[in-house]
Amino acid sequence: MDYLKHKESLIVFTHRSKELLLDLNGSLAWKIDPERVRKCKYIVCARNTNHGLADLDVPHSSAFLIGKVSGVSSALNLPRDNDRWMVKFDEYAELNIPNAWDGQRWPVKYYETETLLNTFDIDSESLDWKKVPDQDLSYIYKYFEDENEYLDRKEGKTSGRPPTHYVDIDPADPPYDHDPSCDDPLNNGAKPLTIPQAKAALSIQYDIPEENIEIILKG
């Protein structure tokens, strides 16, 4: 289907905090049509406090943030979220709209942009728009490790798998759990990196769509 740019916007029902969303520069991890969402104008985030990891600073179902959609990339918590996506935004504004989520079970809902603004009485011109901050990768990685531990316990797993490892493409600024043995690709302790992980990190670092990244392996 051919979607018109900015004709649609979306609202998501998320347990994640404003702090994490701003550090991510986006909202994840959603099962969406990436081509459809890339053409959306806004993403509105409403709070799901029923999740065990939810912050309780915002009332349940209340919309607390709106972002200007700037792209879509693979979700960062791999391999758990292999088939999910992150909706990126480069500007945001805070909202305080009670009962914005209508109770729909599927946590993503699309609106025509004008309908969304009218439904929630949002005057986009009067909002206090701000640029998102630089990503805090160490905070993001620590959050996902804690989240994975929680989900493993909830799923009844003893979590025999090693912690999820993430991509850091700047060797001068390694992730908080950086293992020096990984610097040597011939070292037996090296952690393999998948192509989707590499593309996701490069997309974020250089702010280009993943489909524009080509990785060529030569044996």
pLDDT given for residue 190 in this prediction: 38
Q: Give the closest residue to 74 by CA, choosing from 106, 121, 43, 31.
A: 31
Q: Report the C-alpha gap between 138 and 193 in whole angstroms.
A: 18
Q: Give the class (CATH, top level) of 8-131.
A: alpha beta
pTM for this entry: 0.71
Contact between residue 100 and residue 62 where contact means Cβ atoms under 8 Å apart: yes
Pairing of strands 8-14, 42-47: parallel
Q: Report the C-alpha gap between 218 and 14 in whole angstroms.
A: 41
pLDDT given for residue 125 in this prediction: 95
In tens digits, the chain (219 residues) has pLDDT values of 556 789 999 999 999 999 999 999 999 999 999 999 999 999 999 999 998 889 888 999 999 999 999 999 999 888 888 889 999 999 999 999 999 999 999 999 999 999 999 999 999 999 999 999 998 888 898 999 999 998 888 888 654 544 444 443 333 333 323 333 333 333 333 345 677 767 766 665 565 666 678 888 876
In one-letter notation, the amino acid at residue 7 is K
CATH 3.10.590 in the chain, residue ranges: 8-131
